[in-house]
Amino acid sequence: MRRPSGLFVYTFSMKKLLFSFALLLLLQQLSAQTMQAQHTAAPNKLLPVLWHQHAAEYRALCYQAFNLAELRLASIKVKKHKRPLAIITDIDETALDNSYSEAQSIKTNAEYNPANWKNWTSKAAATPLPGAVAFFQKAKQMGFHVFYISNRDTSEVSATLKNLQTYQFPDATAEHLLFLSNESSKETRRQKVAEQYDIVMLLGDNLNDFAKVFEKKSIADRFAETDAVQAEWGKKFIVLPNAIYGEWENALIQYKRGLNNAQKDSAYKAQLKGY
Ligand SMILES: [Mg+2]
């Protein structure tokens, strides 16, 4: 068998080398594009997080919600009720501010994931929403029992209690914390409270904090259900502002799971209402 000449071997190797180099460049480019696609969601959170942390309007909205809630409670005659009265509150972005966790994700270009979230809550470092502690303490003084219904995991109870106790939230005991165990819906936990108490007020930043009827609904149906109980907003239902995240985001993508950030971005943009 004839051996290839030295020139042939050299040319062949050069071709191979160039091909490998081109392939490497292509792979690098693809990987960069994938990385970019994975992180396109982060800029979407930038302004909402800054609004949450730096807009005085956000603070004013929190004060407005708690001031109104206090007025509503003042109009209830506690002693005339046969059963004890309760108010139910969500925790995240209703009692405690977790925008630090979101800000850290943007700063480090990290995606939200349960491990990052747990790392944050384990620090018990969330701060109260403006006006929250004063409101809940006042409610307690007025004779209302406070229940914290949160979709934080049951493994996060002790760190959350520590966080709430640090700021002297009332009823910050394990008996008053109903965390996520086997279902994300809060309905069963609300019913559990209702077995012994009359629930006179619910506070939350997400429609799912108020009633089952809002769960897993399309955007149009969320609007319709919100309109159907128009008189309850600012009365029995007290809403806190949260532009950073919420069920409304899932409604925008029809509750589809597994979409990458680029796919989410295009779904979001497709729903912009221009003129
Ligand atoms: Mg919340």
**Å from CA of 246 to ligand 1 middle:** 8
Write down the mean pLDDT value for the chain: 89
**Å from CA of 203 to ligand 1 middle:** 9
**Å from CA of 148 to ligand 1 middle:** 11
Backbone angles phi, psi at 113, to 5 degrees: -155, 155
**pLDDT band for position 216 (cuts 50, 70, 90):** very high
In this structure, what DSSP letter does residue 176 have?
A: G
Backbone angles phi, psi at 234, to 5 degrees: 80, 5
Please tell me the distance from the alpha carbon of residue 122 to that of residue 163, in angstroms, as a whole number: 9
**Å from CA of 152 to ligand 1 middle:** 9
**Å from CA of 99 to ligand 1 middle:** 12
What is the CB neighbour count within 10 angstroms for residue 137? 15
**Å from CA of 206 to ligand 1 middle:** 6
pLDDT at 15: 66
**Å from CA of 205 to ligand 1 middle:** 5
**Å from CA of 98 to ligand 1 middle:** 10
CB 173 within 8 A of CB 160: no
**Å from CA of 115 to ligand 1 middle:** 18
Number of H helices, E strands in the chain: 11, 7
Written as one string, the DSSP assignment of 103-135 is: HHHHHTTPPP-HHHHHHHHTTT--EEPTTHHHH
Report the predicted TM-score, pTM, of the whole model to 2 decimal places: 0.85
pLDDT at 25: 58
**Å from CA of 91 to ligand 1 middle:** 6
pLDDT at 76: 97
**pLDDT beyond 90 at 2:** no
Condensed to tens digits (0 to 9), the pLDDT of residues 60-105 reads 999 999 999 999 999 999 999 999 999 999 999 999 999 999 999 9
**Å from CA of 89 to ligand 1 middle:** 9
In this structure, what DSSP letter does residue 92 have?
A: B
CB 65 within 8 A of CB 239: yes
CB 84 within 8 A of CB 153: no
Element (H, E) at 178: strand 177-180
Please tell me the distance from the alpha carbon of residue 210 to that of residue 227, in angstroms, as a whole number: 14
Backbone angles phi, psi at 40, to 5 degrees: -70, -15
**pLDDT band for position 181 (cuts 50, 70, 90):** confident
**pLDDT beyond 70 at 36:** no
Element (H, E) at 5: none
* End-to-end Cα separation, the chain, in angstroms: 76
Domains of the chain by range and CATH? 44-269 (3.40.50.1000)
Please tell me the distance from the alpha carbon of residue 29 to that of residue 237, in angstroms, as a whole number: 50
**Å from CA of 108 to ligand 1 middle:** 23
**pLDDT band for position 174 (cuts 50, 70, 90):** very high
**Å from CA of 149 to ligand 1 middle:** 10
**Å from CA of 182 to ligand 1 middle:** 18
**Å from CA of 67 to ligand 1 middle:** 19
